[in-house]
A and B are shown apart, each in its own frame.
Chain A
Amino acid sequence: MELIFEGKGENLCKTTPMDAREFAKKKSRAMIDKRMPLQEAVKKFVLDGEYLAIGGFGHIRIPMATIYEIVRQRKKNLTVAGHTAVQDIDVLMAGRCVSGVEIAYVVGFELRGLSGVQRRQFESGEVKMTDYTNGSMSFRLRAGVQGIPFIPVNVILGTDTMRNGPGKVVKCPFTGKKVLLLPSLNPDILIMHAHRADKYGNCQIDGHIVKDDLQARASKKIIVTCEELVDTEVIRSKPQQTVVPFFMVDAVIEQKWGSHPGNMPYKYYFDNKFTEDYLTAGREEDLTVIDKWLDEWVYNLDDFNQYLNKLGETRLKKLVDLEFLRGGK
């Protein structure tokens, strides 16, 4: 194939489809009870320097309980797949857990404005980044799942996103048309939050799946938190709703409100005030302000249940009303 153009960006994912496949070979296919405390799961499965993928979409169905635990355990040098990297990656960066991000969308919190934490760490070069797009990140995962080292795509072509990325433009050997080749993506570890799961790790999601299905299939290890731990019979009664099957999963933790302050479709809406307070703290040039926020909401708490207690029931219940549009829009 004729190589027409090479981008100058770096592929930050070092795990290959072959590595992921070899890893899968060693995993048990038995129905094993995988419940364990979140602390133990993070300690065992999220290792310094690994490539992390996060379920949901920026503010939606994000595994915040696990993210706080990663920060609490002061994990270091994670490279993160950031389709739309918003509150999830922001908190990891505030906790100095991240050294690189492959991103489609960073720095912004959509309508809520820009993030001080991310701007400081990206603009200073403290955290490396490679620009992709939401579509191309998923296409790369699709290649990782298929076990192929790259995937031809027809987005990004001709732009500076191409020039600064790791992609290579070649002529299609069949048609002669230009296509962009992007490296496949196989994360070391996926953390995700589902509506329900059984103790073996069969996970079901209500609403849009976003990319959790692809990420689960591409990743070597998976930690699942869920709103509700259910009997396997519940899973068996609606198997078409199972997004991730048990044999891919390494740890299961029931964690109600596990996406707070994110939005869990059909359960609870955003805690906007919480996110805005966090953003405001992060925008302060004085870094002790965000560190104090982390002390208050992460480091000084033993676990996510203490965080929920601190939030209080009234506040959480309001988010349920908001989700179901009760009490006006």
Chain B
Amino acid sequence: MVEYTVGELMCVVAARQLEDNKSVAVGTGLPMAAAMLAQQTHAHNLLIAFEAGGVAPQLPTLPISVGDSRTIHRALMATTLVDIMDIISRGYVDYAFLGGAQIDKFGNLNSTMIGTDHSKPTVRFPGSGGANDFASLAWETMIIMDRHSSRRFVKKVDFITSPGYLDGPGSREEWGLFPGTGPSRVITDLCLFDFHPKTKIMRLIKTHPGVTVDDIKKSTGFEFEIAEKVGTNPPPTKEDLRIIHEIIDPNGIIFPKK
């Protein structure tokens, strides 16, 4: 059996959600690694765009920052931030790939603060960056959340930084966001969710190997939907791990070397 870490598994599961011939707008960290892995495995034509202006680079290795030189390495276009936002607005970007500190059952994401008073947060996080723009404008939002627990998967997030389905079905459209957009997947260190097409509530579709539905219930602060057949995510292959460690992150920035 291939040995792997939960981080590697999340990266692989996330990568598998990205279809070939589609486009993704990504930030740093795990989402970027997942997009790179998808490109190296099943989705050779996956178009990657970075908010600082890099379009379709041939990423030599994991960028440290969403604007660094790697994000325009042998790129097809190096443009402006607002041009990337316009490209997403125009409907050319299929997936936005995001993370956050807290998430609720409708996929609303908090990356701004813990606390009740915005002017005096208990803990201040980075905020939106381009996340709200991505989640508002891209066709689908994919979300990666590690440390799946009831402190992070909460009934009500302290602050909605980026829109999921807001108050539920129809709420995005009601506020004027583009129709037919919203979160489509949540990848955690325990499982994989999609969203119920009617209720727009997070729906468990696959667990990670060795994780039970009960484990996930105990670690989630809200009631989620459960698919009729809950599958199991296949573990990373040897080839997945080789690509992750040799090509994507040879310096062990997000996947520590063994």
Which residues of A are in contact with B by a Cβ distance under 8 Å? 56-60, 83-84, 86, 103-108, 110-112, 118-119, 122-123, 125, 131-136, 138-139, 141-142, 154-161, 164, 169, 177-180, 207-211, 213-214, 263, 265-266, 269-270, 272, 323, 325, 328-329
Q: Which residue of the partner chain, among A106, A158, A210, contacts B126 with CB atoms under 8 Å?
A: A106
Q: What residue of chain B has the Cβ atom nearest to residue A269's Cβ? A: B69
**A-B contact sample (11 more), CB < 8 A, given A134-B85, A208-B80, A209-B78:** A57-B67, A105-B126, A134-B51, A139-B85, A158-B171, A169-B176, A179-B176, A207-B72, A208-B71, A270-B64, A325-B60
Q: What residue of chain B has the Cβ atom nearest to residue A138's Cβ? A: B82
Most buried by B among A112, A135, A323, A328: A135
**Pair A57/B64 contact, Cβ less than 8 Å:** no
**Pair A160/B160 contact, Cβ less than 8 Å:** yes
How distant is the Cα of A157 from the Cα of B254 in the complex, in angstroms? 33
Q: Contacts A58-B65, A133-B132: A210 and B52 contacting too (C-beta < 8 A)?
A: yes
B78-134 contacts to A (CB < 8 Å): 78-82, 85, 89, 108, 112, 118-133
Q: Which residue of the partner chain, among B78, B79, B162, B253, contacts A159 with CB atoms under 8 Å?
A: B162
**Pair A156/B82 contact, Cβ less than 8 Å:** no
**Pair B127/A159 contact, Cβ less than 8 Å:** no
**Pair A134/B133 contact, Cβ less than 8 Å:** yes
**Pair B67/A59 contact, Cβ less than 8 Å:** yes
For the complex, would chain A's binding face be called helix, strand, loop or mixed by DSSP majority? mixed
Q: Mark B146-182, 1 if CB is under 8 A from A, else 0.
A: 0000000000000111110010000110111110000
A-B pairs, top 3 by smallest CB distance, nearest first, are A208-B53, A178-B176, A135-B133
How distant is the Cα of A281 from the Cα of B193 in the complex, in angstroms? 41
A-B contact pairs, 17 of them (CB 8 A): A60-B52, A83-B81, A86-B65, A104-B129, A105-B126, A107-B124, A110-B66, A131-B112, A133-B130, A135-B130, A155-B85, A158-B171, A161-B162, A164-B118, A178-B174, A208-B67, A209-B53
How distant is the Cα of A140 from the Cα of B174 in the complex, in angstroms? 24
Q: What residue of chain A has the Cβ atom nearest to residue B123's Cβ? A: A123
Any A CB within 8 A of the CB of B236: no
Q: Which residue of the partner chain, among A59, A103, A211, A328, contacts B65 with CB atoms under 8 Å?
A: A59
**Pair B68/A59 contact, Cβ less than 8 Å:** yes
> Which residues on the B side are within 8 Å of A131 (C-beta)?
112, 118, 127-128
Smallest beta-carbon distance B173→chain A, Å: 9
Q: Mark B20-43, 1 if CB is under 8 A from A, else 0.
A: 000000001100000000000000
**Pair B112/A161 contact, Cβ less than 8 Å:** yes
> Which residues on the A side are within 8 Å of B65 (C-beta)?
57-60, 86, 110-111, 263, 270
Smallest beta-carbon distance B47→chain A, Å: 16
Smallest beta-carbon distance B7→chain A, Å: 13
Smallest beta-carbon distance B80→chain A, Å: 5
**Pair A134/B128 contact, Cβ less than 8 Å:** yes
Q: Contacts A107-B124, A110-B66, A154-B89: A133 and B129 contacting too (C-beta < 8 A)?
A: yes
Smallest beta-carbon distance A199→chain B, Å: 26
> Which residues on the B side are within 8 Å of A122 (C-beta)?
121, 124
**Pair B120/A125 contact, Cβ less than 8 Å:** yes
Smallest beta-carbon distance A207→chain B, Å: 5
Q: What residue of chain A has the Cβ atom nearest to residue B82's Cβ? A: A138
> Which residues on the A side are within 8 Å of B254 (C-beta)?
111
> Which residues on the B side are within 8 Å of A135 (C-beta)?
81-82, 85, 130, 132-133, 137
**Pair A208/B54 contact, Cβ less than 8 Å:** yes
Any A CB within 8 A of the CB of B220: no
Any A CB within 8 A of the CB of B237: no
**Pair B68/A158 contact, Cβ less than 8 Å:** no
